[in-house]
């Protein structure tokens, strides 16, 4: 029986690539989507026509009870969650001087509280079955900081603190917990940045001189979800084209 992989925010550029990669490797893939996403069914239909029978479940990742209902539905309709990819995230970029409490809360709730809300629902089952993978999608800006992103950088850095602590707790139960920190990836969000900014400010910081591909990040997620990655836990793996090394 194939493993069930649950990807939060799986309908975005990076999330879509992760879903496709895991499905190609035989995982039964379920993605969450925001209850306010009016194009979710359109996306699922498009993927179905491409040969991907993804299951989609509405979920507000900032709400604990919504996450509980989501995972319950997944377990009933697809089976126990073996792989959780915490990929959902938002930005509310501005300088700290201009940032409001609402801007701070929105990013922390979506990018960090969601990690607790989702992981809490699946961890007991993973440890009981003695196999599980939790993969938290952070960011290069959680490692090095970024101008105008105190909220985002704090949330993404906090994500890895969560990874390390939980990895220690569940290692003996056959469950791994890891973080990946992508740099600038060629998703719709990044490619919508004005070309002059990309060419003059962003690409010169990247030694490989290009944006990353969503498929490259998806390949890393697939490895961490595999049996071969059983000895890798508590890590933060950078995938940023050499932009930030430490």
Residue boundaries of the structural domains of the chain: 4-238
Q: Which residue out of 27, 152, 184, 223 is catalytically annotated?
A: 152
Report the first-to-last Cα separation within the chain, whole angstroms: 40
pLDDT score of 188: 83
Please compute the mean of the pLDDT values over residues 58-75 and round it to a whole number. 98
Token readout for 174 is 């056959």
H/E element holding 176?
A: strand 175-182
108 touches 31 (CB < 8 A): no
Least confident of 17-21, 138-142, 193-197: 193-197
159 touches 136 (CB < 8 A): yes
pLDDT score of 76: 98
Please compute the mean of the pLDDT values over residues 53-58 and round it to a whole number. 97
Going by pLDDT thresholds of 50, 70 and 90, the confidence category of residue 178 is very high
Residue 178: phi, psi to the nearest 5? -140, 160
191 touches 139 (CB < 8 A): no
Query: Per the CATH hierarchy, to which homologous superfamily does domain 4-238 belong?
Result: NAD(P)-binding Rossmann-like Domain (3.40.50.720)
Going by pLDDT thresholds of 50, 70 and 90, the confidence category of residue 194 is confident
241: left (phi over 0), alpha (psi -120 to 50) or beta: left
**Other Cβ atoms within 10 Å of 150 Cβ, number:** 18
174 touches 132 (CB < 8 A): yes
pLDDT digits (tens, 9 = 90+) for 133-157: 999 999 999 999 999 999 999 999 9
Q: pTM to 2 decimals?
A: 0.97
In angstroms, rounded to a whole number, what is the distance separating the alpha carbons of residues 217 and 153?
19
The overall average pLDDT reported for the chain is 96
> Catalytic: 246?
no
- Answer yes or no: is pLDDT of 114 > 70: yes
């Amino acid at each position: 029986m194939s493993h069930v992989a649950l990807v939060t925010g799986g309908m975005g550029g990076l999330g879509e690539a992760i879903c496709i990669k895991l499905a190609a490797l035989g995982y039964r893939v379920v993605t969450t989507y925001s209850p306010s996403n009016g194009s979710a069914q359109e996306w699922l239909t498009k993927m179905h026509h491409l040969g991907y029978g993804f299951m989609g479940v509405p979920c507000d990742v900032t709400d604990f009870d919504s996450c509980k209902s989501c995972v319950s539905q997944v377990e009933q309709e697809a089976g126990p969650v073996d792989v959780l990819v915490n990929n959902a995230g938002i930005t509310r970029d501005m300088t700290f001087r201009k940032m409001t409490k609402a801007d701070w809360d929105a990013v922390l709730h979506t990018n960090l509280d969601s990690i607790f809300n989702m992981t809490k629902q699946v961890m007991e089952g993973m440890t009981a079955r003695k196999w599980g993978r939790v993969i938290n999608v952070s960011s290069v800006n959680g490692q090095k900081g970024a101008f105008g992103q105190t909220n985002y950088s704090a949330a993404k850095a906090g994500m890895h603190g969560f990874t390390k602590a939980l990895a220690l707790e569940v290692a003996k139960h056959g469950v791994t917990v890891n973080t990946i920190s992508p740099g600038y990836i060629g998703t719709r969000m990044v490619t919508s940045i004005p070309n002059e900014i990309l060419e003059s400010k962003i690409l010169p910081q990247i030694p490989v001189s290009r944006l990353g591909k969503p498929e490259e990040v998806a390949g890393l997620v697939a490895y961490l979800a595999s049996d071969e990655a059983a000895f890798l836990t508590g890590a933060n793996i950078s995938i940023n084209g050499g932009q930030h090394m430490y």
